[in-house]
Amino acid sequence: MFRKILIANRGEIALRILRACRTLDVEAVVAYSEADRDSLPVQLADEAICIGPADARRSYLSAPAVISAAVVTGCDAVHPGYGFLSEDETFAEVVRAHDLTFIGPPPEVLDRFASKEGTRRLLGGYGLPTIPGSDGMLRDDEHALHEAERIGYPVLIKPSAGGGGKGMRMVRTPRELESAIKVCRSEARSAFGDDSLYLEKWLEDNRHVEVQVAVDRYGHGVHLGERDCSVQRRHQKILEEAPAPTLSPAARADLCERAIRAVVAAGYENVGTLEFLVDARSDFYFIEINCRIQVEHPVTEMLTGIDLVATQIRIAAGEPLGFSQADVQSRGHAIELRINAEDPANDFRPGAGVVEAYQAPGGPGIRMDSHLYPGYEVPPYYDSLLGKLIAWGPDRPTAIARGRAALDELVVDGLTTNVEIHKALLASETFLDGRMTTNLLDRIGSAAFLAAAARS
């Protein structure tokens, strides 16, 4: 096991990793930017070190700053959290070159799964169905038009280097394709420094279901069930739950078993998530793998009782997984609500400011992962996630009821949050019936959704 881990992230995930380190009896150093000097993980850390200014490019995204901090504080491993440098194989390589361990897949594994298109081909070869898509990257407009015609409209234009739904566009006609492709290229270039694009068939009314896996260095892997993340706004997840409400137990077992078989065969290592689109007939298509701990990991932790962050750290340290598929027992139902500093009434504009009052909810089955405290000033430089409210119950209706009660208990004063959209979701018939699809909120519009909830 590691002696000392540098936590190269911020907010709730920095806190979550710090807690995992404490339970593993490993020292932790929190690396922070000047904007996060007063943040809770910095205050709770045994040790903290300022690595740069507020601008993430010079702090959380600066490989030299992060690695230098790990070296001078005597760490032997770096935990990148999610976002920032968490899936950067070059960073992972430089970490290793400094005799440190990157907590995640080893660099060569990250490299193997770095290209989404390559990963689809790789895992497709190990038996995972993939969405019909373009043959490789789009060379030019003519190639794009030809491939779109072959796949059949509507199609989704996707950046190869993308993530989190950035730079994606759905088009229904050749004319739309031609104009959108220019926009996508320039967005992808500025967001990821790589303007490679590919096409995918657009599945109407699909659901987003993902499978959590954990594979140790010795090729021993388990799946930890699936999560349904269909409640999205502009490709950003806002609510996740497990088990997936509309999949039969047999369909879930089939999906999860095929996922773990494929990633073990392809040589994956550490925790990871395979994302699928599931259509109305419960046919599933593999879309991408996330080689990191995910925001919504607590949903799975609530069901299985397995600490995924601790598991991730143990695997990176070279320990065997220590449990088998039969040991992974899923119990009940869990829902995670992402509490964001954004205004649903104002096109979800992100906000910042001082938290005047904060009260986390409690009670049976409730877990609140948040870095807020009264008086904390939410800086404007980073993402808008304030915390995650997770509600567990022996069944879905109980989990939803507990989630509703917890939302009513939650107090975050001083900032505009998206709590109202969650209240509306947990009261909406579509959600209660488990009929949410990935495009539903965008199609009817969040404002209309809120208004409908207010009437009912």
59 interacts with other proteins by CB under 8 A:
yes
Based on CB atoms, which residue is closest to other proteins, 141 or 413?
Answer: 413
373 interacts with other proteins by CB under 8 A:
yes
Residues in contact with 331: Cβ distance below 8 Å, sequence separation at least 6, in sequence order: 303, 304, 305, 394
Based on CB atoms, which residue is closest to other proteins, 29 or 337?
Answer: 29
Based on CB atoms, which residue is closest to other proteins, 37 or 443?
Answer: 37
Q: Which two tokens stand for residue 51?
A: 């690595």
Phi, then psi, of 424 in degrees rounded to 5: -65, -40
Q: Residue 103 in 3-state DSSP? A: coil
Based on CB atoms, which residue is closest to other proteins, 37 or 331?
Answer: 37
352 interacts with other proteins by CB under 8 A:
no
* Interface pick for other proteins out of 375, 380, 397, 445 (rule CB under 8 A): 375
The distance of closest approach from Cβ of residue 53 to other proteins in the complex, given in angstroms and rounded to an integer, is 7
Cis amide linkage into residue 364, ω under 30° from 0: no
List the catalytic residues: 292
In DSSP notation, 238-280 reads EEEEES-TTS-HHHHHHHHHHHHHHHHHTT--EEEEEEEEE-T
452 interacts with other proteins by CB under 8 A:
no
65 interacts with other proteins by CB under 8 A:
yes
- Interface residues for other proteins in 37-56 (CB under 8 A)? 37-38, 40, 42-53
Instruction: Tell me the torsion sign for CA atoms 242, 247, 250, 253.
Output: negative
Based on CB atoms, which residue is closest to other proteins, 100 or 103?
Answer: 100
204 interacts with other proteins by CB under 8 A:
no
The distance of closest approach from Cβ of residue 293 to other proteins in the complex, given in angstroms and rounded to an integer, is 24
The distance of closest approach from Cβ of residue 343 to other proteins in the complex, given in angstroms and rounded to an integer, is 23
The two most distant CA atoms of the chain are separated, in Å, by 60
Q: Residue 98 in 3-state DSSP? A: coil
Phi-psi sector, 410: left (phi>0), alpha (psi -120 to 50), beta: beta
Q: Which two tokens stand for residue 144?
A: 């794009």
Q: Which H or E run includes 315? A: helix 308-316
- Interface residues for other proteins in 98-137 (CB under 8 A)? 98
Kindly report the three-state secondary structure assignment for every residue of 224-248: EEEEEEEEEECCEEEEEEECCCCCC
* Interface pick for other proteins out of 1, 24, 55, 73 (rule CB under 8 A): 73
The distance of closest approach from Cβ of residue 412 to other proteins in the complex, given in angstroms and rounded to an integer, is 14
Residues in contact with 282: Cβ distance below 8 Å, sequence separation at least 6, in sequence order: 246, 247, 248, 251
Type of residue numbered 181 = I
Based on CB atoms, which residue is closest to other proteins, 165 or 353?
Answer: 353
The distance of closest approach from Cβ of residue 95 to other proteins in the complex, given in angstroms and rounded to an integer, is 11
Interface stretch with other proteins, choices 66-74, 221-229, 252-260, 266-274 (CB under 8 A):
66-74
Based on CB atoms, which residue is closest to other proteins, 99 or 140?
Answer: 99
The distance of closest approach from Cβ of residue 19 to other proteins in the complex, given in angstroms and rounded to an integer, is 14
Phi, then psi, of 284 in degrees rounded to 5: -120, 150
* Interface pick for other proteins out of 22, 23, 57, 64 (rule CB under 8 A): 64
The distance of closest approach from Cβ of residue 67 to other proteins in the complex, given in angstroms and rounded to an integer, is 6
Could you give the CA distance from residue 43 to residue 23 in angstroms, rounded to a whole number?
A: 18
* Interface pick for other proteins out of 84, 376, 392, 431 (rule CB under 8 A): 376
The residue count for binding other proteins (CB under 8 A) is: 34
Type of residue numbered 286 = F
Q: Helix count (H) and strand count (E) of the chain?
A: 16, 22
Strand partners, 337: 239, 389
Binding stretches for other proteins (CB under 8 A): 29, 34, 37-38, 40, 42-53, 59, 64-65, 67-69, 71-74, 98, 354, 373-377
